[in-house]
Chain A
Amino acid sequence: MTDLLHIIIEFFKTGLFAVGGGLATIPFLTEMAEKYGWFTIEQLSTMIAVSESTPGPIGINMSTYVGFTIHGVLGAILATLSLVAPSIIVISIVANYFQKFKDNKLVKKVFAGIKPAVVAFIVAAVLSLFTKTLLHLDVEATSVLEYFNFKTILILIALLLLNKKFPKVHPILYIVIAAVCGVVFKL
């Protein structure tokens, strides 16, 4: 019972203080491992690996996994709900004010500056995905060509062409096609 209470408090704290996305929760989870001995650091790295390879936001996957490890399904539910509770409260308040002030001249100027920066954050966030997917950075290559992953590059070009031809197709379909390609071509 005290475990459940600790789960609620710790994950609420994580949700409240981890600013800037799912990976920002890792230091908080490490601290939980040290403070309560709920799981080991090795278990945590497995949980991170699984969270990155299953659908859903990484932060949510990790909190569910950690909660499940501590206290089964109930632990998973409590951990995830506690993690998202601060977001829901804070964003509801901000959304309410934002609606009132978004037509304000100064606010418009501020956001005109922020928007190009957000595009930059998105580019920065996917950059590692691109290098991880399209290049072989972990090999000792004898020629420059070996740094390129030609299988994935070819599939990327094929998908881009397919998407140009059928721009209305739902992204889900491309994800499914690409997953099958991955298994068939042993990417």
Chain B
Amino acid sequence: MKTLIDLFVAWFKMGLFTFGGGYAMLPMIQKEVIEKHHWATEEEIMDYYAIGQCTPGIIAVNTATFVGYYQKGFIGGVVATLGVVSPSFIIISLIATLISNFSELAVVQHALMGINVAVCMLMINSIKTLWKKNVKNIASFCIFALALALSILTDVSTVWLVILSGVLGVVLSKVGYLKHD
């Protein structure tokens, strides 16, 4: 029971302080899921992200379900997901009822711009950590560069990029350029 409550509270917090998409949640996940509760390692979160990218649904929900499932099975997944969606639910319902011009308010726009700066800072740190752990040699750098170029310059679906990099992983491991452990 305690784990279920912890799951709900932790994911509620992450939902409440995430601005932007599922990836912007990464600094919060590193703090809450990895450092504080030890529910997953950095590597595992990357696996969940990769799988979440190719499976239906929103990445934040997919990640929450993954983490919850490994703690408390199906119920754990449901509770973590309910946690991460609850803040949205409360805040959006309030705004929809009370303030129709919310996103046009000057104070909201200023606060949001400030928050964007904080998210930039947090993402710089998160990416630095991920970079150190996952881009360690020439082969992994090439996969990184290729995936970055293709996702910025083309409309190719990330699903295909995940499949492509998975194939590259197998090929480069076979010829000894990529280590896995």
Interface positions of A (Cβ within 8 A of B): 15-23, 25, 46, 49-61, 64-65, 68-69, 73, 76-77, 80, 83-84, 86-88, 90-92, 94-96, 98-99, 102, 106, 108-127, 129-130, 132-134, 152, 155-156, 159-160, 163, 170-172, 174-175, 177-183, 185-187
Contacts and interface: CB of A to CB of B under 8 A. Distances in A.
A105 B67 CA distance: 23
Task: Tell me if A's interface is mostly helix, strand, loop or mixed.
Answer: helix
Interface residues of B, number: 108
Contacts of B168: 113
A145 B132 CA distance: 33
B62 A175 contact: no
A57 B118 contact: no
Contacts of A124: 148, 151-152
Contacts, number: 363
Give chain B's interface secondary structure class: helix
Nearest to A80: B85
B92 A64 contact: yes
Contacts of B170: 106, 109-110, 113
Contact of B57 (A18, A68, A109): A18
Contacts of A179: 111-112, 114-115, 118
9 contacts: A18-B58, A57-B22, A95-B69, A114-B162, A115-B46, A126-B123, A175-B122, A182-B112, A183-B111
